[in-house]
A and B are shown apart, each in its own frame.
Chain A
Amino acid sequence: MTSGAAPATSSGQRTRGYLRAVGAVLWKDLAAELRSRELLSAMLVFALLVILVFNFALELDLATRQTVTSGVLWVTFAFAGTLGLNRSMAVERDRGCLDGLLLAPVDRSALYFGKALGNLAFMLIIEAIILPVYSLLYNVNLFLPGLLGVVLLGSIGYAAVGTLLSSMAVQARTRDVLLPILLFPVVLPVLIPAVKATNAVLLGLEAAELWPWLNLLIAYDVIFTAAAFMLFDFVVEE
């Protein structure tokens, strides 16, 4: 850990210390992942398998693809995301990292933002691989600026809530089955607008069709990041 909470004299210094603590937690996750690559490879293989299953379950021919691509993409992201969230928190717990991090003299919320950014980064990496693969397999261009924006906004909301809920789920006896049950009903207001907005971009609808969904996504991201920021303290309290 860096000396995140060195006696701060000015607020500027305190902000810098806080950001350094967030960066340290994020860097710890990324560095550990770069070394082992177990989480990313599991998420990636799983995501590809989900797409494969959808291919046969829905017979993704040209006509169906028009309407279901957005749904297939988001279900894939959501499932792969659950896998990643569960794993990233379980690792903290199994190796006793959580206790170590809690002992560190940093604000608890810095821990939250570090973990949330790490989870977001993993999701974005997976999405950055899945999108071109999907484009290639089904010959649709998914690299539209609007779509990338929707993916980013949706992933932020998903990671913000997912980090909070997965840190509760790993502390429960039934942890492996608990996370999706806790997460999916609460994250539904991210998935619905994300699917609809993705669809609107893919069908080339006008911006007026897209904005209500984007506004909803932004509102969700803001509300739930703020709520998770305030509530995370109580989740890791020992």
Chain B
Amino acid sequence: MGDVQRVFYFHVASGWVGALAFLVAAVSGGIYLARGKRRWDAVGLASVEIGLAFTLANLISGSVWARPIWNTWWTWDPRLVTASVMELVYVAYLLLRQGIEDPDRRARFGAVYAIVGFLSVPLTFLSIRIFRTIHPVVVGNNDPTAQGTFDMTPPMLQTFFVSLAVFTLLYGVLLWHRVRMQSLAETVEERKLKLLSA
């Protein structure tokens, strides 16, 4: 397969971070609806933004890998479609938030949509899965019809897990900074309002 195989480590790691980020957004949406603490809304928004960037990285790097291996930039494979629909769901999430001025309502609607969107992802995957897939399944069971499959040697496995760990750590750091920035943004917003009303 050549050097392009090496994209795999970061490709899978960014896909993993994307899915993890959207899961975190759905969970913190649930916590926000239960507790009503604005902090959880900030976590949800931050996680969605980071997830969008990583899912996009996952999609495009997959496309780059597919060009020499599958001889096409894009096929309508379940994983590809699911990832791109997921990306669209969370772009819609940002558009929804943009359209709402009242911060409480924005947080509530964001939480509801993050949960509904996340619930739909596995079903989207299943509904396209019923067709045959050509995406290689490197982790877990192997489908003989997949094209571009390879087995991982121990050093490859080590590299793979290191890159997973590093990307997860990167996600954590980004999330932490983004949440802090959100609370700064909220204080700035409050101070502006106070100044205008004074």
Q: Is chain B in direct contact with chain A in the complex (CB below 8 A)?
A: yes
Chain A residues close to B by CB (< 8 Å):
161, 164-165, 168-169, 171-175, 178, 181-182, 185-189, 192-193, 196, 212-213, 216, 219-220, 223-224, 227-228, 231, 234-235, 237
Q: Which of B92, B98, B115, B127 contacts A189 (CB 8 A)?
A: B127
- A-binding segment of B8-16, B101-109, B166-174: B101-109
Closest 8 CB pairs of A and B: A172-B99, A189-B123, A174-B99, A192-B127, A185-B88, A185-B89, A186-B120, A173-B99
Residues A227 and B123 in contact in the complex (CB < 8 Å), given A185-B89, A234-B108, A235-B108: no
Say if the beta carbon of B188 comes within 8 Å of chain A.
Answer: no
Say if the beta carbon of B130 comes within 8 Å of chain A.
Answer: yes
Q: Is the CB of B113 within 8 A of A182?
A: yes
* Distance of A182 Cα from B113 Cα, bound (Å): 8
Q: Is the CB of B116 within 8 A of A189?
A: no
Residues A216 and B100 in contact in the complex (CB < 8 Å), given A161-B116, A231-B116: no
* Distance of A231 Cα from B32 Cα, bound (Å): 12
B66-96: CB near A (< 8 Å → 1, else 0) gives 0000000000000000000100110010011
B95 — which chain A residues lie within 8 A by C-beta? 174, 178, 181-182
Cross-chain pair count, CB within 8 angstroms: 87
B108 — which chain A residues lie within 8 A by C-beta? 234-235, 237
Q: Which of A178, A219, A227 contacts B96 (CB 8 A)?
A: A178
A181 — which chain B residues lie within 8 A by C-beta? 92, 95
* Distance of A233 Cα from B52 Cα, bound (Å): 28
Of A186, A220, A237, the most chain B CB neighbours within 10 A belong to A186
Can you show 23 pairs from A to B with CB atoms below 8 A apart? A165-B113, A165-B116, A171-B109, A172-B99, A173-B99, A173-B100, A174-B99, A178-B95, A182-B96, A185-B120, A188-B120, A188-B127, A189-B127, A192-B124, A192-B127, A216-B126, A216-B127, A227-B116, A227-B119, A234-B33, A234-B111, A234-B112, A235-B109
Q: Is the CB of A168 within 8 A of B111?
A: no
* Distance of A72 Cα from B114 Cα, bound (Å): 30
* Distance of A178 Cα from B113 Cα, bound (Å): 13
Q: Is the CB of A175 within 8 A of B99?
A: yes
* Distance of A234 Cα from B106 Cα, bound (Å): 11
* Distance of A216 Cα from B89 Cα, bound (Å): 20
* Distance of A79 Cα from B5 Cα, bound (Å): 43
- Closest chain A residue to B128 by CB distance? A192
* Chain A interface, DSSP helix/strand/loop, else mixed: helix
* Distance of A173 Cα from B113 Cα, bound (Å): 17
Of A187, A227, A231, the most chain B CB neighbours within 10 A belong to A231
B123 — which chain A residues lie within 8 A by C-beta? 189, 216, 219-220, 223
Interface residues of B in 102-154 (CB under 8 A from A): 105, 108-109, 111-113, 115-117, 119-120, 123-124, 126-128, 130
Q: Is the CB of A164 within 8 A of B116?
A: yes
- Closest chain B residue to A220 by CB distance? B123
* Distance of A189 Cα from B120 Cα, bound (Å): 7
Q: Is the CB of B96 within 8 A of A172?
A: yes
Residues A172 and B120 in contact in the complex (CB < 8 Å), given A185-B85, A185-B88, A193-B127: no
Q: Is the CB of A186 within 8 A of B33?
A: no
A192 — which chain B residues lie within 8 A by C-beta? 124, 127-128
Q: Is the CB of B105 within 8 A of A171?
A: yes
* Distance of A182 Cα from B117 Cα, bound (Å): 9
Q: Is the CB of B112 within 8 A of A188?
A: no
Given A164-B116, A185-B117, A196-B130, 17 extra CB contacts under 8 A: A165-B116, A169-B96, A172-B99, A172-B100, A173-B101, A178-B99, A182-B96, A182-B113, A185-B88, A188-B120, A189-B123, A216-B123, A216-B130, A227-B116, A231-B112, A231-B116, A235-B112
Tell me the minimal C-beta distance from A181 to chain B in angstroms: 5
Tell me the minimal C-beta distance from B75 to chain A in angstroms: 16
B101 — which chain A residues lie within 8 A by C-beta? 173
